[in-house]
């Protein structure tokens, strides 16, 4: 396929003598929500941070087909929200930095944060802080999204809202975006994904379609590889 949106080529990363990524290569295509699986320490978070240009690889490269840096968003384990600002101020700051106007109130409403918009970040519950981080990440209507355990601290309703947004906005035919999402929450996440990439010891050991697979099937793939 030649309509790739994002590609990773022969990626290596080590922390001292510990080799975390060992020659990873894959591509993301428009409309995909791809599940990234692997045990703790398999390299998922490192891979996502390199893809989002937050960490340098030792060798190899990540390429964006459109070459539009502003179309990429990332949400990690930590929210990275400014603790001395309110939720609204965090979103307004992000919008100002990337030159987006008029999207703050829409994002607050979409994530049921309007009634919490004037609270400082330390006043939020863990779930609300996660939703605020997601709202900020989507302020620029991104084309490529990297998510690291985004469903942690979210209730089922919020998980459904997250994937509704990913399907209808990021991965819609109009936007033609793609999502790579690392998660241990297979039961709630895999049903929304069309493909799974499984890491083991810093290498891709499986990359296959999972649309049409049951949750039990996906869990089985993962357990077979990690035995």
Residue 78: exposed, middle, or buried by beta-carbon count in 10 A (0-12, 13-18, 19+)?
exposed
Please determine, for residue 1, whether its predicted confidence score (pLDDT) is greater than 70.
no
Using DSSP, state whether 61 is helix, strand or coil: strand
Q: Are 34 and 194 in contact (CB under 8 A)?
A: yes
Domains in the chain with CATH codes: 6-68+143-225 (3.40.50.300), 84-141 (no CATH)
The token duo for 19 is 């080799």
Q: What is the overall mean pLDDT for the chain?
A: 91
Beta strands in the chain (DSSP E): 6-15, 18-28, 33-37, 59-64, 72-75, 144-148, 178-182, 195-200, 203-209
Who wins on pLDDT, 10 or 78? 10
Q: How confident is the model at residue 24 (pLDDT cuts 50, 70, 90)?
A: very high
Is pLDDT above 60 for 219?
Answer: yes
């Amino acid at each position: 396929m030649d309509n790739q949106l994002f590609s990773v080529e022969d990626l290596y990363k080590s922390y001292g003598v510990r080799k975390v990524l060992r020659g990873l290569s894959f591509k993301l295509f428009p409309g995909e929500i791809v599940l990234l699986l692997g045990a703790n320490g398999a390299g998922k978070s490192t891979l996502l941070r390199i893809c989002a240009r937050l960490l340098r690889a030792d060798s190899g490269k990540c390429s964006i087909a459109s070459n539009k840096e502003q179309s990429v968003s990332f949400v990690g384990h930590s929210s990275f929200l400014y603790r001395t600002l309110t939720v609204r101020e965090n979103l307004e700051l992000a919008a100002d930095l990337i030159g987006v106007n008029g999207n703050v109130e829409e994002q607050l409403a979409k994530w049921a944060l309007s009634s919490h918009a004037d609270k400082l970040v330390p006043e939020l519950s863990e779930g609300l802080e996660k939703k605020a981080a997601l709202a900020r990440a989507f302020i620029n209507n991104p084309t490529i999204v990297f998510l690291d355990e985004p469903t942690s601290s979210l209730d089922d309703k919020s998980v459904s809202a997250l994937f509704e947004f990913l399907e209808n906005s990021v991965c819609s035919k109009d936007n033609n975006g793609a999502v790579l999402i690392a998660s241990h929450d297979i039961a709630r996440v895999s049903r929304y994904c069309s493909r799974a990439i499984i890491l083991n010891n810093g290498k891709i050991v499986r990359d296959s379609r999972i649309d049409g697979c049951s949750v039990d099937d996906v869990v089985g793939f993962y357990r077979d590889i990690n035995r």
